[in-house]
Amino acid sequence: MVKSTIDRYGQIDILFNNAGFGRVDWLEALDPIQDIERQITADLLGVIWTARAVLPQMYKQRSGHIINMSSIAGWAAPPLYSIYSAAKFGIRGFTEALRRETAPLGVHVSAIYPGSSPTEFQKHMGENRAKKRFSTPEWLRVTPEEVAQGVVDLARRPRRSLFLPRIMGLSVFINSHFPGLSDRAQMKAFAPYHEQDLK
């Protein structure tokens, strides 16, 4: 992919790392290979490998922008999303380190942290026994078009990170500064169903 892009255009201006999927269930119910290993490989290692592949060309150009798709789950991890959140936390750390590594050579590195969005992601979540007590309110959701526009805006004006919708930054603040409150809210949504599943 990288070679064919260079052969055709002579340079690589932007890499948007967006491939990934999520398997959502209680950890002990996840298949070690299909649900855990494959998810880490696609969601985290795929991002790392692809970024690594474009860097020699971007360094040669002394320009370029790597945009990594993370998730709000990469800041505030909900129950059932243990592996998905692990990958997205990994992307956050990878993006931060790589941004500091590449900046002296003219390459920007950013991350996007969207909340819930109606995409193909839900189709690949797999069957699970766990049920949420309530779903994400409509006003906290973001459309695929809004995410796409966020990517374009970030490409035009590089910065460290972008939360979508922007109010999701508040949940990150609460999770960081009031973790007990965040724990209670999320456990209230999921924990009672785990007890039922174990019976």
Question: Among 8-17, 71-80, 82-91, 172-181, which is the least confidently predicted range?
Answer: 172-181
Q: What token pair was written down for 26?
A: 């209680």
Supply the residues annotated as catalytic. Answer: 84
Q: Give the domain range for residue 157.
A: 2-198
Dist CA 149 CA 164 (whole Å): 10
Both ends of the chain: CA-CA distance in Å? 49
The whole model's pTM is what? 0.83
Greater pLDDT, 168 or 74: 74
Place of tokens 């990469």: 74
Asked whether the predicted pLDDT for residue 123 surpasses 90, the reply is no
Mean pLDDT of the region 5-22: 94
| Number of structural domains found in the chain | 1
Contacts of 176 (CB under 8 A, 6+ apart): 75
The CATH number that applies at residue 134 is 3.40.50.720
What does the mean pLDDT of the chain come to? 86
Alpha-carbon separation of residue 170 from 32, 68, 86 (angstroms): 34, 21, 21
Contacts of 45 (CB under 8 A, 6+ apart): none
Q: Helical H runs in the chain?
A: 2-9, 38-40, 46-61, 82-102, 144-156, 168-177, 179-198
